[in-house]
Structure 1
């Protein structure tokens, strides 16, 4: 056990004494409050204490309540929160919850204002005010002069007649009523049907700024406190929260028979990590980890059909791995994980009670695919990493979100690899994170990993930080850091950081401090600059370099890589867009070496070769940069791929392809040179290089599938995929067996999907026969789970209304979330415009398509060449509605903009996009604001690229497909 937890016990004891004192005060106050409340009618208006409109506050930025950040005068110590969600609607048809909260605050700076977050809560009036303030211990609380709600900044402001005393503690008591809405935010309602019975779950999502919708609180990550939670609920339900339940009692409150569940006090934690759930779910459990209670919760039918077993089996090993990796014991008494029918994010790392979409936690041994299993393993691994990195030690403010999400996105591969060592899953970071984020970070509209605090203020700006840069670039640069420090030094620094700042908050420089200490305490360890100096160049400026190696001279240079070299940068960099670049490289017959590129040009590296010898840089794709070579070396590498591709690692083969295609788009190398990297693919059997090639060729498909180029492209890709299709047909005994390799199962999907779409003989008939067999016997699906996504899409694309309607019936009756998800995606593949338009309309009806799935369904439809203009028109026509429902703060909303604009590549389409922006400025774009700017930038680049390359690409595909 790490020493930090002994410290936490002493801190916890002090807090407990304070909490007990507060509780005594609160009980006494409650009697007085009940009398006071009897004098004041509790109403549900727009938020004022007396049910009238909130007191209008003119916007004057000088006032503290007009700023989005909390003042620093008060800090919370502990909360006593009681919530009572009603799982049946009231007389007005509305679902609601009631609650009361007492927060102990300590004054650290003299003030006559108490400002606390409160949003969309209707607060009970106490003698005309929204709250009651009392002193704790010897402190005497000033009388409240006035109180009001500020809608814009989501504050409850309490003005006092005199100042609070520095060092004194006070108790702020509120009672409130809120809507238990189906908006997937704060304390919300999820619904599902089981055995024909409609059921309601009260659940929560507090990240990033939704705790304030549940109870008045200091809703910033640095405002950590201890939470004492009580939940009142129906007697046939179970209540869950972050802490272990320590007591249940049946009672009658206001004439209603209820159960009251109390929970152990939490550790000191941030509001965004709170969770409250009331449901009739059941669990399976394990105590294999040193008597730590691990439970998986879900719908009864899901648990009964053993859909929670796999998650339970991997949770224990992953927790054990992290305890060893961080050298810090899991600090809680239990680890609950729960699968929810309605959940906007993929998963949420609430401390002690992690929430998931059903697709991210539930695995059916018969109906789920290998991909489903991998998703569960990596998502569970990601969320459990947060138990330490993010929950135990938390960012000071959201501008450093990458510190949380980037770290979890990196180590999720390590935890998953420990749980499933035969999968070689660590290589997948190249596809899933490194190559993915390169595409975004190469834009002039990108942003640094760590932004200035003043750039991230509003809830929408905070939500916008939950993007590919924070997650995937964060993962990529931390992986690079671990590579050049070595894993033992990296983990030593991480452990020191976590144990030093446990239960506290940090900024990114604190991490650099502890990693630098680890370097200095490791004999023989040397890096050319401090960790600060090296990493600041990767985190404080956006983008990344392309490193160019000239094997004729041995010189090496770096330059900021921009996908559109003509784009204008309006974000200056203090480092002039140069980086300290750790380059691992090798050449013919020479083992891997490392060199640091510390300026724009370096000519002192032995990379000079001649004849048939070759140089390969960025081995293991350890660095976050692209690599270019002189033309001679490019040709030597291409020759090596064609004659002996296995001389290079799988991920370096993928890297060569991805680098070449993107260098060509940036006009650094010729487009035909990039295309030539795909010629060897007829001999390639591994998944990662194929996937890299297909993702890059997908850009060509998006740009040209409405032009004459597509026919030639189709012929070429058909020629290249045919050997892979035949390979899998052979090793699966004519599609009757499952490939043994983990990634081979993915590549089988590629082989079938591309072969069918490119017209390989026999593929379409195979797909249609499988789907027809299922239609003839709906109770027996002959399609292997690994192939379902591909088969559903292809069969529905080949078919008509009969195939679509069958999929819809199967979707509505699906009892496994991952099966429903596959069908939902597959239905977007139809080529019938009227079916796609009908499907788009379904996304507006939550009884047909769940709110959590609406934007991704529109995205799926836009992926279809027939569906793209339909989805684009649909979104433009209904932007106000979509924005109101999903846009203000939704993490997934930016994906909608990305999805519907991917194919835009003409001047007319760019003008339409600009008009869309102009027409909706009054509505706003919320968390999709940056995505819209990037869509405009990418469309502008697409127009130029198509104009410059169309003729060359057409000729190349024509020549190579003969």
Structure 2
């Protein structure tokens, strides 16, 4: 074994030494792309000529190359001093590192001399991963192809042989050979286009030589998009926007946004990007259909149509994306990653910085995005099988978690250091490492140097260690706060938080900056809770609060964690909220409501205490606080509606909602009269070729067939749990990104829980819309709930009318609203029809499938019809490539052990283990619902009974919060 280790060490050491004997000086790269051919696979071939300097004599050159074919016969070296050609004797892949190849040459290179390494290579365009050099298409007949590169974090060697080390920055001369119907773009502007004589209808586009770039920063694309804008910006750069024509109007602000964002970042970082003729002086925006990534480099930005074409919120979504892409010019181009595995760190920082830049024009933007990001991260990061964000798993949910959690950790750092010191640290970092590479550790050390100089960081706290504790282990802490007013000591301890209450005996711990305020001291103080070699420290705070003063920990939700207070302190906070909720900061109120409901869900906090905390909501005016409450309360409602206790739950919700609802109803009515529309919470419809189809419903879709019962009005009883409307929520907080107004949130809740004034208003709006045969008269933010109520209580003809609106609409967002509202029917035949549509992509686009199934399964009728549908169509569903998309709503709808076990067993019998593993987080969430119903259902009912009978919250003297 020792001998094997020594051999391996010597092999790796020799590779490092040989690699260091040669360094790249310049790349000359020519790529010929065969794209969109009907009779052969999309592919490319190329020649790379790399000018290299030999730093030591060597006959071996190590290069990075993977998944491309290299011709040994066409690999050779040109010696500048003599003009001699040196051939390659062998090209061999290193077994222990598959991305590394070893080239053995005929004669040794001489130290200090310049050579040119020439290689011929070829490869296939990878359309599945969308990394490296890949092809995509849009439209169906005929398909319209495009190709693009995404070489970050370390995919350059899958496109051309190279020294794929971010420490090397070299100029690039790029030439693209392609069909003349494509527009070729790269980092630099084109300088020449001429016919390519060897292939008919092909041209050769040569680009201006680039400034020194790392391999992962090289970009090019071929497309057939139109130039919808081209012109100079105020700073002198030429901005060109490429897209399909129908997006021209929505992209009209891009030429204004781009230089404005560059200017803001330049001010923020106090460090300008290099400019001048050598840097090209241009920015191309390429908006690709059916592209879900976003990517930018020197002179070019690439992003998808869905960001632009996302309804009324499209302009803000576009600006958010551009803010991230522009941030990459500093944190990614000016200073690039030293370690490709840390791409998630850079992405999280850029996301956070984009939020700060957007907040310069809209003050509430920062609070809104941090709140919603926190909810999303805490949900996913509390699952038992979650991985640390340092773990690179190519799964979209985990990649989103990495970026969002990193964003919150940067915010934590900013709170701990203070705004001024944080900004100064960033500025010093860019000055120190400009035009070179750096690691995340070097960024943390830069912050630490500034904090030490300003005496803002305790001696025993190391920021690299702090960040490592959050990045390299999964989950987040639960802080337990215990007051001893007799001794005037507050003790704070930590343990890992799980969504499911586990008996956790692990030593997981984090370095936590604990920001706190008390009733008479509103300036946050920061102390550190340590974690020494996985040994949890205990933080004791002395004489910080009088016995009658409330204590608030983690002010403004500065750190992504939950707080578990002792019963006395929580009672003081509850009383403060009822007396004047504004004395508690908005982000802290969001955390208090979310933590209370989440801790009760997991069984840690009695529900009578939680109801006491949230009793003040009747007076709450914050949209964000109500959105947080909505998410948690609808999670409870989704289970309670299937039980005999729903009536009690409904009475409690009416009591909680009615006062606030009545104060906002008039403002919503005013909006209706003026026709004002605000975006509603729907699943984000991604633009596909199926959107905008002209599939008109044929006559067989009419319920006037044997499938349909008579056309009498649907029976309805007010006590039925059918009252749950098709508000598009799932178990994940991703759906909280709604931008609903407070009046719309309360309207939605009021109609769901049958507050009389809401039902009357909704029925009037629905009838007016049916009379006009259009839903446009209903404000968009309440359109789905109004249509839902109307369909539930209306005639069969109304269902048909809304169905026809769905098929005739060409707007994805409107179609989603109409489709979900159809699920509120009380007719068996209509439910079955909707479920069959969910499996038919010609009727319902895949982007709306999960939303439709969730909406159908939300009502008791739909739930029972859906269970039978799942059994009857099991084979078809399990064979579908969208099996996870289809099954997730069914798993999320189950709440009994028998149902869950039956489905879980069925999946294990009929699906490969890898597919079942891919459903693990969803199955965990489903099991969590089952456990809640088994263990905590009666606790909630008892708490509601006590709360309702006592006519309000309890006083501290009789609060049962043990």
- TM-score greater than 0.5 by the shorter chain: yes
1:432 aligns with 2:372: yes
Partner of 2:342: 400
Q: Post-superposition shift, 1:258?
A: 3.9
Q: 1:398-547 residue pairs with structure 2 within 5 A?
A: 398-418=340-360, 420-421=361-362, 423-451=363-391, 456=392, 461-462=393-394, 466-522=398-454, 529-547=461-479
Aligned partner of 1:314 among 248, 257, 275? 257
1:782-827 deviations in Å (ceiling 9; x for gaps): 454555676677778888863564355345x34xx76677678778
- Work out whether 1:137 is the aligned partner of 2:83: no
- Name the counterpart of 1:555: 490
**Residues 1:336 and 2:284 are matched in the alignment:** yes
Aligned-pair Cα RMSD in Å: 4.7
Verify the 8 A CA contact 1:311 1:361 in the aligned structure 2: no
Matched, 1:952 2:939: yes
Change (3 A) 1:170 1:81: closer
Q: How many angstroms apart in 1 are the aligned matches of 2:462 and 2:302? A: 39
Verify the 8 A CA contact 1:208 1:462 in the aligned structure 2.
no
Between the aligned partners of 2:167 and 2:900, the Cα distance in structure 1 is: 43
Question: Is 1:348 paired with 2:271?
Answer: no
SS at match of 1:616: strand
Deviates more, 1:319-328 or 1:670-679: 670-679
- Kindly name which structure, 1 or 2, has the bigger radius of gyration based on alpha carbons: 2
CA distance in structure 2 between the partners assigned to 1:592 and 1:548 by the alignment = 19
Q: Deviations over 1:97-135 (max 9, x none)?
A: 55544455667896747553343x5x48575xxx52324
**Structure 2 Cα separation of the partners of residues 864 and 108 of structure 1:** 69
Matched with 1:601 is: 538
Deviation at 1:672, TM superposition (A): 2.8
CA deviation digits over 1:475-531, x for unaligned, max 9?
112111111211221122112222323343333211111112222344777676232
The question of whether the paired residues in 2 share the 8 Å contact of 1:546 and 1:626 is answered with yes
Change (3 A) 1:160 1:311: same
Whether the 8 Å contact between 1:289 and 1:320 is mirrored in structure 2 is no
Aligned counterparts of 2:783 and 2:151: Cα–Cα separation in 1: 35
Alpha-carbon distance, 1:408 to partner: 1.8
Matched ranges for 1:43-58 at <5 A? none
Correspondence 1:91 to 2:36: no
Taking a change above 3 Å as real, the CA distance of residues 426 and 596 of structure 1, as seen in their structure-2 partners, is: same
User: Whole-Å Cα distance in 2 between the matches of residues 635 and 933 of structure 1?
Assistant: 38
Deviation at 1:578, TM superposition (A): 4.7
Query: Structure 1 pair 106/317, CA: closer, same or farther in 2 (3 Å)?
Result: same
Normalized against structure 1, the TM-score is what?
Answer: 0.76
Match of 2:124 in 1: 178
Q: Is the 8 A contact 2:478 2:496 kept in 1?
A: yes
State the Cα distance separating 1:617 from its structure 2 match. Answer: 2.1
Is the contact made by 1:222 and 1:397 (CA closer than 8 Å) also made in structure 2?
A: no
Deviation, structure 1 residue 154: 7.3
In the alignment, which of 288, 294, 297 is matched to residue 239 of structure 2?
294
Kindly report which structure 2 residues correspond to 1:569-608, keeping only aligned pairs within 5 A, or say none: 577-588=509-520, 591-598=523-530, 600-608=537-545
- Separation in 2, partners of 1:71, 1:840: 55
**Contact 1:221 1:272 survives alignment (8 Å):** no
Query: Is the contact between residue 184 and residue 342 of structure 1 (CA under 8 Å) also seen in structure 2?
Result: no
Asked if 1:262 is matched to 2:257, the reply is no
SS in 1 for 2:491: strand
Structure 1 CA distance, aligned partners of 2:66 and 2:611? Answer: 56
CA distance in 2, matches of 1:789, 1:270: 49
| Distance of 2:820 and 2:93 partners within structure 1 | 43
* 2:747 counterpart of 1:752: yes
Q: State whether structure 2 residue 275 is matched by structure 1 residue 327.
A: no
Match of 1:6 in 2: none
Distance 1:341 1:797 in 2: 37
In the alignment, the residues of structure 2 paired with residue 310 and residue 341 of structure 1 have an alpha-carbon distance, to the nearest angstrom, of 19
CA distance in structure 2 between the partners assigned to 1:415 and 1:357 by the alignment: 22
Superposed, 1:58-69 pairs within 5 Å as none
Distance 2:852 2:54 in 1: 50
Checking the alignment, whether the CA contact within 8 Å between 1:717 and 1:758 is kept in structure 2 is yes
Distance 1:757 1:200, change over 3 A: farther
Would the alpha carbon gap of residues 81 and 684 (structure 1) be closer, same or farther in structure 2, given more than 3 Å must change?
A: same
**C-alpha distance in structure 2 between counterparts of 1:353 and 1:829, whole Å:** 47
Offset, 1:687: 0.3
Measured against aligned partners, the alpha-carbon deviations of 1:540-563 in whole angstroms (never above 9, x if no partner) come to 443333333334433222211322
Q: Distance in 2 between matches of 1:744 and 1:556?
A: 39
Q: Do 2:77 and 2:115's aligned partners in 1 also have CA atoms closer than 8 Å?
A: no
Q: Does the 8 Å contact 2:217/2:333 carry over to 1?
A: no
CA change 1:275–1:857 in 2 (3 A) is farther
1:640-655 equivalence runs, <5 A: 640-655=576-591
2:479–2:562 Cα contact (<8 Å) kept: yes
> Are 1:882 and 2:830 counterparts?
no
Structure 2 residue 55 is matched with structure 1 residue 116: no
Bigger mean CA offset, 515-524 vs 629-638: 515-524
Cα distance 1:259–1:283, how it changes in 2: closer, same or farther (>3 A)?
Answer: farther
Structure 1's 189 and 337: CA in aligned 2 closer, same or farther, altered over 3 A? same
Residues 427-450 of structure 1 deviation map (CA, whole Å, 9 limit, x = unaligned): 123422222212233344334443
- Cα shift at 1:396: 3.4
Post-superposition shift, 1:416? 0.7
Residue 50 of structure 1: aligned partner: none
Which string of whole-angstrom CA distances, capped at 9 and with x for unpartnered residues, describes residues 852-875 of structure 1?
A: x48876886798564886998889
**Deviation of the 1:425 alpha carbon:** 0.8
Residues 53-98 of structure 1: CA distance to partner in whole angstroms, max 9, x if unpaired? xxxxxxx99999x99xx97854665443444555643335x55555
Change (3 A) 1:769 1:293: farther
Q: Report the Cα distance in structure 1 between the residues aligned to 2:343 and 2:669, rounded to whole angstroms.
A: 49
- Quick one: distance in 1 between partners of 2:468 and 2:564? 24
1:217 Cα offset (Å) = 5.3
Q: Distance in 2 between matches of 1:903 and 1:108?
A: 65
* Contact preservation (8 Å) 2:668, 2:744: no
1:382 matches 2:324: yes
Structure 1 stretches lacking a partner, 5+ long: 1-59, 887-892
